[in-house]
Amino acid sequence: MDYSAITTQFNKRYGREFSLYASPGRVNLIGEHTDYNGGFVFPGAIDKLIVAAIKPNDTEIVRVYSYDMKETAEFALDEKPTASWALYIYGVISEISKRGLKVGGFDCVFGGDIPIGSGLSTSAALESTFAFALNDLFNLGLARIDMALIGQAAEHNAVGVRCGIMDQFASVFGETDHLIRLDCRSLEYELVPFHPKNCRLVLLDTQVKHNLAASEYNIRRAECEEGVATIQKKHPQVKLLRDVSLDLLNDFKKELKESTYRRCRYVIEENQRLLDACEALKHDNYTEFGKKMYGSHEGLSKEYNVSCKELDFLVSIAIKNGALGARMMGGGFGGCTINLLEESHYAAFVEEAIAAYKIEFNKAPKIYEVKIGKGSHKIA
């Protein structure tokens, strides 16, 4: 992104000396609703960023200007701000303090080009930017995993959103042209090369709000926990769905409600799809990888029942136009599809997706093209 507007605004408000830091949003190629079941996810950082110009000010006061919101917040290090966007910054400071580390006051201007509300995790990028910047400016000695956990805890405790670790992990650990196979149980990870030749990653935003996402998320989580609890009675070593094989689940099919069985089966199959997708990438088999993306969407739509007609419609357009792979991304009931397309199919796909979606739903989807980029870093 062009961050000259950020630096110009800093010069105007706080002077000419500053350091510049950035953290990206993320996409998740496969592995949805697996995180809270102790399974795997497969995200990548993207080339859309939150950028912060920042300088210590030798006080106990934080002065920060949000370029995108056109708002200023000023608060003491131990004082909860009133602006909702400033809670993310306060949360990072608070979680650092809980670890017995000390930061000072600072001046900052931040902004970015991650589309808000697109499901690309603007909040995690914001948390990661400040965790990384404050670690560097105040010589805190934090490891990257600490920064990711601080961002997650900030969202839990200051903002009140009980998110998983995937978004912050991808934002901090991302590498250009690599996806991250993250084990959500152990936090062990592997960087897997992702460099499809003559291809594009494109997001189509349904512009449908996730009205059902929160309540249905809780229901799905409870159904998975119900399945685990039933199996646990005879197999106490089972703690999470990650510990359950398909054969073991099938042994309990008659004891489980049909919907509970199908939710559990989806999660177990999705974990295996993800592992198979990783192997496909290691052999540069993007056709097979794309098939796993389609399989993921089919499972999310038909087994986990978290899709919607708009998402299913856009995936059907992807199939019709020869996309290598496509699926819904995120919690469901709206948001974006993620599509892996050969360059030669891109123009026709986008054109038809816009035209057909307008006819079907009386509005156009938003189009976001992304590339797999670098995690948290210092620019200057």
> pLDDT tens-digit profile of 92-134?
999 999 999 999 999 999 999 998 877 889 999 999 999 999 9
Looking at the DSSP bridge assignments, the partners of residue 55 are 107
pLDDT in tens, 159-172: 988 788 999 999 99
Q: Please identify, in words, the CATH class of the domain defined by 4-194+374-378.
A: alpha beta
What is residue 304's predicted lDDT score, i.e. its pLDDT? 97
Q: Which sequence spans correspond to the domains of the chain?
A: 4-194+374-378, 199-370
Residue 121 neighbours by CB under 8 Å, 6+ apart? 25, 26, 114, 167, 170, 171
Q: What is the rounded average pLDDT of the residues 236-256?
A: 97
Q: Percent of the chain beyond pLDDT 90?
A: 92
Query: In sequence order, what DSSP letters do the residues of 342-372 get, joined into one string?
Result: EHHHHHHHHHHHHHHHHHHHSSPPEEEEE-B
Cα–Cα distance list, 9 to 18, 72, 76, 226, 233 (Å): 12, 12, 22, 53, 61
Confidence of residue 195 (pLDDT cuts 50, 70, 90): very high
Residue showing tokens 């389609």: 294
> Are residues 19 and 77 in contact, defined by beta-carbon separation less than 8 angstroms?
no
Helices 309-320 and 343-361, packing angle to 10 deg: 140
Mean pLDDT of the chain: 95
pLDDT score recorded for residue 217: 83
Average the pLDDT over 192-216 and give the result.
87
Q: What's the pLDDT band for 212 if we cut at 50, 70, 90?
A: low
For the cut 90, the answer to whether the pLDDT of residue 214 exceeds it is no
Q: What is the mean pLDDT of residues 192-200?
A: 95
Render pLDDT for 364-377 as a digit per residue (tens, 0 to 9).
999 999 999 999 99
What contacts 24+ positions apart, CB below 8 Å, involve 236-244?
Answer: 239/38, 240/37, 240/38, 240/39, 240/185, 241/37, 241/38, 241/39, 241/267, 241/268, 242/37, 242/38, 242/39, 242/185, 242/271, 243/38, 244/268
pLDDT digits (tens, 9 = 90+) for 248-306: 999 999 999 999 999 999 999 999 999 999 999 999 999 999 999 999 999 999 999 99
Q: Bigger pLDDT: 365 or 217?
A: 365
137-147 pLDDT per residue, tens:
999 999 999 99
Instruction: List the one residue out of 102, 113, 69, 60 whose CA is nearest residue 88.
Output: 69
Q: Which of 19-33, 135-149, 199-213, 223-237 has the lowest mean pLDDT?
A: 199-213
| 216 vs 327, higher pLDDT | 327
What predicted TM-score, i.e. pTM, was given to this entire model? 0.94
Distance CA 74, CA 81 (A): 7
| Predicted pLDDT at 210 | 66
Q: What pLDDT, on the 0 to 100 scale, is given for residue 148? A: 97
| Section 60-65 average pLDDT | 98
Q: Catalytic residue numbers?
A: 167
pLDDT of residue 101: 98
Question: What's the confidence (pLDDT) of residue 263?
Answer: 98
Query: What share of the chain in percent tops pLDDT 70?
Result: 99
Mean pLDDT, to the nearest integer, of 10-30?
A: 96
3.40.50.720, 2.60.40.10, 3.30.70.890, 3.40.309.10: which CATH number matches 199-370?
Answer: 3.30.70.890
